[in-house]
Amino acid sequence: MSNKLNKIMITGAAGFIGFHLAKKLLQKGFRVTGIDNLNDYYDVRLKKARLNLLLPEKNFNFKKIDMADNRQIAETFKQETYDVVINLAAQAGVRYSLTNPHSYVNSNLAGFINILEGCRHCRVQHLVFASSSSVYGANTKMPFSASHNTDHPVSLYAATKKANELMAHSYSHLYRLPCTGLRFFTVYGPWGRPDMALFLFTKAILEKKPIKVFNYGKMRRDFTYIDDIVEGVIRVMKKIPEKNKKWDSNAPDPSSSFAPYRLYNIGNNNPITLSEFIKTIEDAIGIKAKKEFIEIQDGDVPATYADIDSLIKETGFSPKTLLKDGIKNFITWYKSYYKTENGYKKF
């Protein structure tokens, strides 16, 4: 295999993380093929607006494809050789999985096997795929380490992400496909998803509507700014995993393997309560939120906290963005994107 990584496929390129990652890679001179089905899980206009910022780039090529369509995915891999595939496409959302389970099976399982097959047959040098902090499920030992066992997911979404890790490991073992899974911790920032807390809270506060505060504001989250996530992904992308020669089958470490496979957390390593998060938003906007306190929802976990020591050791990555700065950047973007003469655009 060549060590030169130039041609990158990003699935979910019109999504929040995919858009920012594609933009940064294009700035660095990489050739990027973006894949997205532009589904209507949230406002398609936002996805298209992100995409419209990428389309003018000469090194960017977009294909509207559904990951679950194995024929189209196979054809895409036949048309061009990719050095790295970064799989970010997935049906997202913990609560949505309670009412729409089949969409998670189609996108996160059927779609992912199509990507694995494409990478296998086209000898991709490195598959980087998005997992989630949700895989820690019922775990309570903090901070969460990629070396911890994660066999007790509490949502179907989390279960599909855990399944992705296992599927990738099997391909890494069987076909020597280098795979790295990244467990993202509550990503936020400009161009973020409308179903995420920061977006929902900002929208409601500006419209002077009440916000729903789950678990009475006691939930703790390791909020991670999008620029830090992108930096971590790019560093990992360049570090193709190798077999761990010290891996012990009598005491197996889930974060590495006898195969070319790795798992890392990407988080801020600094969890805060939901109440603190809301207070930071209130301070940035200058308006006090109207709060409706609600018990924790099915599928949610009370806390997340990322141990990123292995990621720092292997790549030198560490998050740099302060929460107050990241929230300020989001609100500036939100007001610019949605502001009209009579208030804010509906979506």
218-266 confidence digits (pLDDT tens) = 999 999 999 999 999 999 999 999 999 999 999 999 999 999 999 999 9
Token output for 70: 């194995």
Q: How far is 122 from 116, CA to CA, in rounded Å?
A: 10
pLDDT confidence band for 2 (50 / 70 / 90): very low
Tens of pLDDT, residues 71-110: 999 999 999 999 999 999 998 888 888 888 999 999 999 9
Q: How far is 223 from 187, CA to CA, in rounded Å?
A: 6
DSSP-based three-state secondary structure for 84: strand
pLDDT confidence band for 298 (50 / 70 / 90): confident
Give the rounded distance of the alpha carbon of 283 from its chain centre: 27
pLDDT at position 342 is: 56
The single residue listed with the structure tokens 């050789």 is: 81
Which stretches within 6-153 are classed as H helix? Answer: 16-27, 44-54, 70-79, 96-99, 101-104, 111-121
Write the CB contacts of 99 (distance below 8 Å, at least 6 apart in sequence): none
Helix H or strand E encompassing 100: none
Tens of pLDDT, residues 7-32: 999 999 999 999 999 999 999 999 99
Q: How far is 266 from 86, CA to CA, in rounded Å?
A: 15
* CA-based R_g, the chain, Å: 20
Q: What is the DSSP string of 113-173?
A: HHHHHHHHHTT-SEEEEEEEGGGGTT--SSSB-TTS-----SSHHHHHHHHHHHHHHHHHH
DSSP state of 269: S
Which is catalytic among the residues 42, 96, 136, 157? 157
DSSP-based three-state secondary structure for 61: strand
* pLDDT-above-70 percentage for the chain: 97
DSSP state of 83: S
User: Which residues in 3-33 are b (16+ Cβ under 10 Å) and which e?
Assistant: eeeebbbbbbbbbbbbbbbbbbbbeeebbbb
Q: What is the mean pLDDT of the chain?
A: 94
pLDDT at position 4 is: 80
User: Per this entry, what is the length of the chain?
Assistant: 347
* pLDDT-above-90 percentage for the chain: 89
DSSP-based three-state secondary structure for 326: helix
Tens of pLDDT, residues 139-159: 999 999 999 999 999 999 999
Annotated active-site residue 157? The verdict is: yes
Token output for 42: 């949230």
